[in-house]
């Protein structure tokens, strides 16, 4: 009998779910707006509906289980604590709530770890038993894979690499610390840096292709636009990205020294950026990391892109 696993990427904006085959291929998908602001019961209802929808499309086949990736800290493969952008949600045993309604194996995991597992099983980490997974998007997060398994630390939250400070006197970060790498290269900060650089350049009476791409509305600037401008040769856009990649490389050098890991897989929204960004990350990491690590440093582009959530989630119950 054919079998499949269900993987669900639970986000504050969207719930993306899919059935996945043993080779990591997505068979069917279901997507819906997330009722994150309506409280846990509404979200649990959505998850159950999603699971039933997918199972109905696989009548007569065996479902090996349901994997769910959730934001926030997840403990014991089941309990989701304080996910950002979810209302009235302090501590919810999501795994238990689902298991009570359907008699399947259910595993819940932090979304960054989930994506890391997906890259480990089916993506850029396939050939690397140990790697650091970086999500570079709105914020900067990560997951640590050791011996093909998630490294949890002592309380389940290991991998918060966005809050490694690269300058103790640097800009104030949302978390309260200073100089966190996220406060330099997170999507919002990167867009802000670009607006500031454009303002300074226009004072010098330089112009940039970025302005044309957003029809003069600098509030529309985001990493995608900057990448687009950089790829068509805009020097300011390119400089912004090279600087961001260099800062990330500096942070990675510190992290890799502590973990003694040599391979980094970068995913998240910004990971679609041009190759020269990866080159900048690689150069900066190699420049700053301890000598015995230098040669082995590999900075890889995540391969599963926006499918990482579904495939990673499903792979936990395969």
Residue 181 and residue 190 in contact, taking contact as beta carbons nearer than 8 Å: no
Alpha helices in 35-154 (DSSP H): 40-56, 94-99, 111-122
Candidate residues 167, 231, 243, 279; the one interacting with its own copies per rule CB under 8 A: 167
Quickly tell me which residue has 């990560």 as its tokens. 142
- Contact call for residue 159 and its own copies (CB under 8 A): yes
Candidate residues 1, 56, 59, 168; the one interacting with its own copies per rule CB under 8 A: 168
Candidate residues 262, 267, 302, 316; the one interacting with its own copies per rule CB under 8 A: 262
Candidate residues 19, 165, 273, 282; the one interacting with its own copies per rule CB under 8 A: 165
Residue 172 burial (CB count, 10 A): 11
Cα 172 to the chain's mean position, in Å?
Answer: 23
At a CB cut-off of 8 Å and minimum separation 6, what does 318 contact? 5, 20, 22, 64, 65, 121
- Contact call for residue 166 and its own copies (CB under 8 A): yes
CB of 265 to its own copies, least distance (A): 14
- Contact call for residue 275 and its own copies (CB under 8 A): no
The tokens describing 58, both together, are 């696989």
At a CB cut-off of 8 Å and minimum separation 6, what does 286 contact? 249, 294, 297
- Contact call for residue 176 and its own copies (CB under 8 A): yes
The 104-143 contact track toward its own copies, x by CB under 8 A, reads -------------------------xx-------------
- Contact call for residue 73 and its own copies (CB under 8 A): yes
- Contact call for residue 253 and its own copies (CB under 8 A): yes
CB of 130 to its own copies, least distance (A): 3
Q: How far apart are the first and last CA of the chain?
A: 15
Q: How many Cα atoms sit within 13 Å of 233 on the Cβ side?
A: 0
The tokens describing 111, both together, are 């979304």
The 27-66 contact track toward its own copies, x by CB under 8 A, reads ----------------------------------------
Choice between 18 and 159, CB closer to its own copies: 159
- Contact call for residue 70 and its own copies (CB under 8 A): no
- C-alpha dihedral, 304 to 306 to 311 to 313, nearest 10°: 130
- Which residue, 88, 81, 76, 80, is CA-closest to 37? 88
Choice between 155 and 219, CB closer to its own copies: 155
Residues that bind its own copies (CB under 8 A): 73, 82, 129-130, 144, 146, 151-161, 163-169, 175-178, 247, 250, 253-255, 257-262, 287-293, 296
């Amino acid at each position: 009998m054919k079998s499949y696993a269900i993987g669900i990427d639970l986000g504050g904006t969207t719930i993306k779910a899919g059935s996945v085959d043993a080779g990591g291929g997505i068979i069917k998908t279901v997507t819906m707006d997330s009722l994150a602001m309506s409280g846990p019961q509404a979200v649990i209802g959505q998850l159950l509906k999603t699971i039933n929808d997918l199972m109905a499309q696989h009548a007569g086949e065996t479902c090996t289980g349901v994997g769910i990736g959730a934001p926030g800290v997840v403990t014991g493969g089941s309990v989701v604590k304080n996910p950002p952008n979810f209302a009235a949600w302090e501590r919810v045993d999501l795994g238990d709530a689902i298991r009570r309604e359907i008699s399947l194996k259910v595993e819940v995991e932090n979304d960054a770890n989930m994506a890391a597992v997906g890259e480990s099983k089916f993506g850029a980490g396939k050939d690397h038993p140990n790697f650091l997974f970086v999500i570079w998007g709105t914020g900067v997060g990560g997951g640590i894979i050791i011996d093909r398994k998630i490294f949890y630390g002592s309380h389940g939250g290991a991998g918060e690499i966005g809050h490694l400070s690269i300058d103790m006197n640097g800009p104030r970060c949302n978390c309260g610390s200073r100089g966190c790498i996220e406060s330099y290269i997170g999507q919002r900060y990167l867009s802000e840096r670009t607006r500031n650089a454009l303002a300074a350049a226009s004072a010098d009476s330089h112009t940039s292709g970025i302005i044309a791409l957003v029809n003069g509305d600098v509030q529309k600037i985001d990493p995608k636009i900057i990448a687009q401008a950089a790829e068509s040769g805009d020097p300011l856009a390119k400089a912004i990205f090279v600087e961001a990649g260099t800062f990330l490389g500096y942070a990675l050098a510190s992290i890799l020294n502590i973990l003694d890991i040599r391979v980094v897989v970068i995913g998240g929204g910004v990971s679609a950026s041009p190759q020269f960004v990866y080159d900048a990350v690689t150069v900066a990491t190699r420049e700053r990391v301890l000598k015995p690590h230098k040669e082995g440093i590999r900075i890889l582009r995540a391969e599963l892109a926006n499918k990482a959530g579904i495939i990673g989630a499903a792979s936990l119950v395969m």
